[in-house]
Structure 1
């Protein structure tokens, strides 16, 4: 088997995570160890850096530097929200081919897998051998064919720790508290709030995910039921909750209040970075259940992605191993692939890394199985058992 001789380029895309740099370190060190490529370029701010020639030399990094980078949150190369079409990818290819790039490693979500697919097809049409590999990353945990994705475990740990502390605060000063958590279409991250539950009364009483229809009347009934019994109520809500027509509550609220909706570069309604949903639900509770109720709301927003020192050990290890596995796939002769993580065993917890065709992952979204959602306002024990090894140990607390 003869592998193409040339250089490699690595980029990071989409929302940063606390472990995405571990994947970068894994790719770089595996290329260095194997001699897969000559020069190793890093693209500043992903596809835009490739298009504009903003590259750096990653081949000169020693192991100590890579180890430090692997422990650093955020995307050290810089990221991008650009979603390249075929014309954009053709321009990228032209830039890569002038530098004799033969291996492209892209760390990101399902849109990043699609970018790999398009660039691979463009290079094939040009008769140029360029092998593109997608390294998984997303806190949303929504990549198909993956048991879970790097970034999710650590973000889930942040959510669980935050809900544990927040519920203890709420227990000390009882009231109704709403925490809005990331998740446009997939509710895995919000569901992880259930891990905050302990024998000391911590964690959410109610959990609402985008996989279920959010009915306002039922929501008020749920809150009233819990508050009447407990004298307080903790609520975890995905930012992507929607009504029976499929319209997100955030979009509905924005249109009612201002007549317009802010959208991101991909045309999606902007859900993160705004406290509108939490404020709306808090106001709704006061209107329906009593204006004197102590109701508060927080939107976790971007804090969930790269919170330093709130890292799942298995998440960091698997992020780095995913990067190394992508290089191994190239060494094994794959002409392109998306690396997936498959769970082999729960006891002991074990995974394997399996390359699959790019088109099987690109532009597809995995959501929470219906069997893991309980009564539209909670999650099942099966989900909790699934998530525990991904998050790892949580703080041990006591009470009087």
Structure 2
């Protein structure tokens, strides 16, 4: 039997569990007689172009356990746009290193790169099995029910938004409106997760997702209605909101990200809408950006997300060894758990999965019960909190409560 090398890389933004996938790959690959060495490329395929890699073959068990529970991407993420010439150079690098298996962990852009690499290899008869390994907090990969990384990010958003709502409820006589902006680019999966732990008494707080264009007048009317009914408004928005003309809603490209061939990263929607509320309604409003903790916060890792991430890595190795190159590992929902399968890269490469409209109520600006049922198993158990509405039906005037005599006067 001829022994061959396996290369693995991480691409795009990190997640809280992407290193668990890497640990799964290393664990499974070391059990395969066909695999001699396991190498990790530094910063995605930039590692191949720069000839930068790490030998991962001999990590001990303690290191693998630590790796499995380490957030972010230990090999380094990458948003480097690859030309056709770069693809040829990567294939040449793999050929020189006698690589027979390449596993690439990433999102839909990464899957597109996997497809380009697989096609380039086949065109010149280079025998390399290329497997796409899913990860993305945005959850915008097609075919797979969900992507590793999303469950943990959704858990962070769920808890953060719930606690922001409690905070704003406490401070409503000082600050009336808070616009919370989540990651997700042009999809609203993360923003929608905010409703999971909001409690039945607070679900009039509105949600605005990029899949549904926003009319500014309608937005202001809805904020005003919720404020009059509740006394405060915690609105959650996806960062990629746009108006009915298809224009980004108050957004601007993140510095240096407009024209480099990568996914456009935008900021500013929450600030724009908060200022709109200040101007139109005269209410105190501020923007709250949840920030980078959404994708790399170890304290909010979902147990099922971490386990699935590890299993997905193991499955990717099995696909590669079986000679099933040109595939991406997928998760197929089976009740509260998932089975592992695969799909051709052509079905996922560069394709963006939107939030289905049956998961969103555009009139009441909230998710549907069907979405809550779908999401709940992915985030793990959420400890309940006590909302003021559960104990306060009416505010009792001080004098009326004690027959016109205050406690201090007794």
Does the pair score TM above 0.5?
Answer: yes
CA–CA separation in structure 1 for the residues paired with 2:49 and 2:99: 13
Shift of 1:267: 5.0
Map of 1:36-75 to 2, 5 A cutoff?
Answer: 36-75=34-73
CA–CA separation in structure 1 for the residues paired with 2:263 and 2:373: 32
Map of 1:224-243 to 2, 5 A cutoff?
Answer: 224-243=224-243
Shift of 1:379: 1.1
Indicate the residue corresponding to 2:407 in structure 1.
Answer: none
CA–CA separation in structure 1 for the residues paired with 2:239 and 2:114: 29
Q: Secondary structure at the match of 1:284?
A: helix
More moved, 220-229 vs 77-86:
77-86
Indicate the residue corresponding to 2:277 in structure 1.
Answer: 285
Shift of 1:247: 1.5
Q: What is the aligned-residue RMSD (CA, Å)?
A: 1.8
Indicate the residue corresponding to 2:384 in structure 1.
Answer: 396
CA–CA separation in structure 2 for the residues paired with 1:204 and 1:78: 41
Indicate the residue corresponding to 1:185 in structure 2.
Answer: 186
Unaligned 5+ segments in structure 2 are 392-410
User: Rg larger in 1 or in 2?
Assistant: 2
Distance 1:264 1:152, change over 3 A: farther
Map of 1:319-398 to 2, 5 A cutoff?
Answer: 319-344=309-334, 346=335, 349-375=336-362, 377-398=365-386
Shift of 1:350: 2.2
CA–CA separation in structure 2 for the residues paired with 1:213 and 1:320: 37
CA–CA separation in structure 2 for the residues paired with 1:313 and 1:267: 31
Asked whether the 8 Å contact 1:105–1:135 carries over to 2, the reply is yes
Indicate the residue corresponding to 2:215 in structure 1.
Answer: 215
Shift of 1:183: 1.6
Count of equivalent residues: 383
Shift of 1:132: 0.2
Indicate the residue corresponding to 1:249 in structure 2.
Answer: 249
CA–CA separation in structure 2 for the residues paired with 1:147 and 1:126: 34
Indicate the residue corresponding to 2:118 in structure 1.
Answer: 120
Deviations for 1:294-350, whole angstroms, at most 9, x for unmatched residues?
Answer: 212111122211012111001000001000001111233313311111112x2xx22
Q: Secondary structure at the match of 1:158?
A: helix
Distance 1:67 1:395, change over 3 A: same
Distance 1:56 1:121, change over 3 A: same
CA–CA separation in structure 2 for the residues paired with 1:209 and 1:295: 20
User: TM-score if structure 2 supplies the norm length?
Assistant: 0.90
CA–CA separation in structure 2 for the residues paired with 1:353 and 1:192: 23
Distance 1:301 1:51, change over 3 A: same
User: TM-score if structure 1 supplies the norm length?
Assistant: 0.92
For residue 304 of structure 1, the aligned residue among 283, 294, 304 is: 294
More moved, 205-214 vs 4-13:
4-13
Distance 1:126 1:270, change over 3 A: same
Q: Secondary structure at the match of 1:250?
A: coil
Q: Secondary structure at the match of 2:327?
A: strand
Deviations for 1:215-236, whole angstroms, at most 9, x for unmatched residues?
Answer: 1000000000000111111100
